[in-house]
Amino acid sequence: MVGSISVLGATGSVGRQTLAVAERLRIPVKAISGNSNLALLEEQARRFRPEFVCVSDENGAKALRTALADTGVRVGGGMHALSDCAAAYADCVVTAVSGSAGLTPTLAAIDAGRRIALANKETLVCAGELVMRRAAERGAEILPVDSEHSAVFQCLEAQGGKRTLKRILLTGSGGPFRGKTPEETRNVAPELAVAHPNWSMGAKISVDSATLMNKGLEFIEAMHLFGVTPDEIRVIIHPESVIHSMVAYSDGCVMAQLGVPDMALPIQYALSYPDRVDSAAAPELDLAALGKLTFFEPELKNAPCLALAMDCARRGGTAAAVMSAANEEAVALFLAGRLCFGAISEIVSAAVAETAAAETISLELLRDADAAARRFVRENCRRY
Ligand code: NAD
Ligand code: MG
């Protein structure tokens, strides 16, 4: 069990659930960060009494500093403070910010040798090679919080490693529009796209689940986390979200991890590892009440974002970073009513075609690729 945590993105869906787990397990919360929801951040600071609170923008930090003046909690603003929040206060940082904003603080935490409970998948999609190499060099543990990756991690742990791994079977619910064609969903409203059948999540990942980009991001996340090739990962649609993922071994055995769909389970395991605490994170799974579990092959022709992500995984270079950054921009435009649902995959695909490069990766190159992809989407969105 970790001795203390800091939580990046404490006001978000994973962040709030992490604080609830910490409270139940009595894990001290040493630092928290948030972006714009200052009222909730203040409430969390008063409840958990961290040493440090980080707000993304300096004006927000100023306002919160005044609001928390009676508490002795220190408040900082900006990217430097976010890296501090990740690296300086606790044994373990839970990276629950959304998007590529997670990369810099994750690198800071790695350099400080912290355990990283990684929810922020975009960090690995954008810079997986660099992040994993640096973590190995600095001896920083990266443990998955994403439910599928936690499942794979637990299957591998049970088996003592991946020596005889044949394939990772990555499950996904198929999202709210499973079975529908791109033509049928082209103009769906944001309210419908964010309504996931099994999971309650932040807006961006909910839209990613509807486009199946989330499964694509997870495909790339799995490659980096577990050091496997694209051919060693297979996506399987499993609408009930009860099997969180599986590992097939070369002798024909398949191991699966099951549970009710509740993020408290993988969050708790990332904090308690290598132990399993004697405190239920979620209600017990009742298989007899469920009756049956179902599985389908993904229809790639109806899931252009998943197909694109699998292609980017094979291309290497800056392709995945460009895809992820373009997707962030496109999803924000969709949520703001400025891009239709069907155009998300089209504009992200165009951004990859126009701006991705095959060069060997450096952090600087990745940051430039991220900026170019975002610019491309902003400049071209009116055409869609
Ligand atoms: P969310 O939108 O609910 O919360 C995001 C948090 O990050 C908020 O606290 C917000 O203030 C902060 N934030 C957003 N942009 C920021 C920026 N530019 N700089 C600093 N802080 C910023 O998102 P979520 O659903 O909690 O997801 C967080 C991450 O976890 C994502 O990467 C997502 O893919 C991953 N994840 C989420 C779930 C889930 O069930 N929600 C499951 C698996 C993985
Ligand atoms: Mg997931």
Q: How confident is the model at residue 198 (pLDDT cuts 50, 70, 90)?
A: confident
pTM comes to 0.98
Residues 212 and 309 in one domain: yes
Please report, for the domain that includes residue 89, its CATH number.
3.40.50.720
Q: Is the pLDDT of residue 177 over 90?
A: yes
Distances (CA, A) of 310 to 79, 146, 218, 307, 324: 31, 18, 10, 5, 12
Provide CB contacts within 8 A for 305, sequence distance 6+: 208, 211, 212, 213, 216, 327, 344, 345, 348
Domain count, the chain: 2
What residue owns the CA closest to ligand 1's atom 36? 119
β-pair partners for 32: 7, 53
Ligand 2 center to residue 263 CA distance, Å? 9
The parent domain of residue 188 ranges over 149-383
Task: Please report the pLDDT score of residue 237 as a whole number.
Answer: 98
Q: Mean per-residue pLDDT for 59-65?
A: 97
Which amino acid is located at 300 in the chain? L
Nearest to 249 by CA among 167, 157, 153, 141: 167
Q: Mean per-residue pLDDT for 62-83?
A: 97
**Which DSSP string corresponds to 303-354?**
-HHHHHHHHHHHH-TTHHHHHHHHHHHHHHHHHTTSS-HHHHHHHHHHHHHH
Residues 32 and 114 in one domain: yes
Instruction: Among 145, 161, 184, give the residue marking a domain's end.
Output: 145
In this structure, the strands spanning 243-249 and 165-172 are: antiparallel
Q: Mean per-residue pLDDT for 108-131?
A: 98
Which amino acid is located at 135 in the chain? A
- Asked if residues 124 and 216 have their Cβ atoms less than 8 Å apart, the reply is no
Instruction: Among 145, 166, 183, give the residue marking a domain's end.
Output: 145
CA distance 218 to 147: 10
Residues 204 and 217 in one domain: yes
What residue owns the CA closest to ligand 1's atom 43? 146
Residues 120 and 235 in one domain: no
Ligand 1 center to residue 149 CA distance, Å? 17
Q: Give the tens place of pLDDT for each residue, 342-372.
A: 999 999 999 999 999 988 789 999 999 999 9
Residues 32 and 170 in one domain: no
Residues 249 and 338 in one domain: yes
Ligand 1 center to residue 288 CA distance, Å? 34
Work out the percent of the chain whose per-residue pLDDT is above 70.
100
Task: Please report the pLDDT score of residue 248 as a whole number.
Answer: 98
Q: What token pair was written down for 323?
A: 């895809």
Residues 196 and 112 in one domain: no
Q: Is the pLDDT of residue 227 over 90?
A: yes
Across all residues in the chain, what is the average pLDDT?
97
What residue owns the CA closest to ligand 1's atom 7? 97
Nearest to 170 by CA among 33, 297, 327: 297
DSSP H or E run through 92? strand 92-95
What residue owns the CA closest to ligand 1's atom 25? 202
What residue owns the CA closest to ligand 1's atom 18? 101
In this structure, the strands spanning 92-95 and 254-258 are: unpaired
Q: How confident is the model at residue 200 (pLDDT cuts 50, 70, 90)?
A: confident
Residues 129 and 208 in one domain: no
Residues 133 and 167 in one domain: no
- Asked if residues 34 and 41 have their Cβ atoms less than 8 Å apart, the reply is yes
Ligand 2 center to residue 320 CA distance, Å? 18
Mutate to test the pocket of ligand 1, among 11, 14, 209 (most ligand atoms within 8 A of CB): 14
Instruction: Among 145, 161, 192, give the residue marking a domain's end.
Output: 145
Q: Using the atom order of ligand 1, give the atom closest to the CA of residue 11.
A: 9
Whether the CB of 98 sits within 6 Å of ligand 1? yes
Residues 227 and 352 in one domain: yes
CA distance 21 to 1: 12
Q: Mean per-residue pLDDT for 84-88?
A: 98
DSSP 173: -
Task: Please report the pLDDT score of residue 361 as a whole number.
Answer: 82
Please report, for the domain that includes residue 316, its CATH number.
1.10.1740.10
Residues 139 and 171 in one domain: no
Ligand 2 center to residue 174 CA distance, Å? 12
CA distance 96 to 11: 9
Q: Using the atom order of ligand 1, give the atom closest to the CA of residue 205.
A: 34
Q: Mean per-residue pLDDT for 235-251?
A: 97
Task: Please report the pLDDT score of residue 24 as a whole number.
Answer: 97
Residues 129 and 156 in one domain: no
**CB hemisphere CA count around 218 (13 angstroms):** 29
Task: Please report the pLDDT score of residue 359 as a whole number.
Answer: 83
3-state class of 217 per DSSP? helix
Q: Mean per-residue pLDDT for 55-62?
A: 96
Whether the CB of 320 sits within 6 Å of ligand 1? no
User: Which phi and psi (to 5°) does residue 31 adopt?
Assistant: -155, 145
- Asked if residues 86 and 95 have their Cβ atoms less than 8 Å apart, the reply is yes
Q: Give the tens place of pLDDT for each residue, 276-323.
A: 999 899 999 999 999 999 999 999 999 999 999 999 999 999 999 999
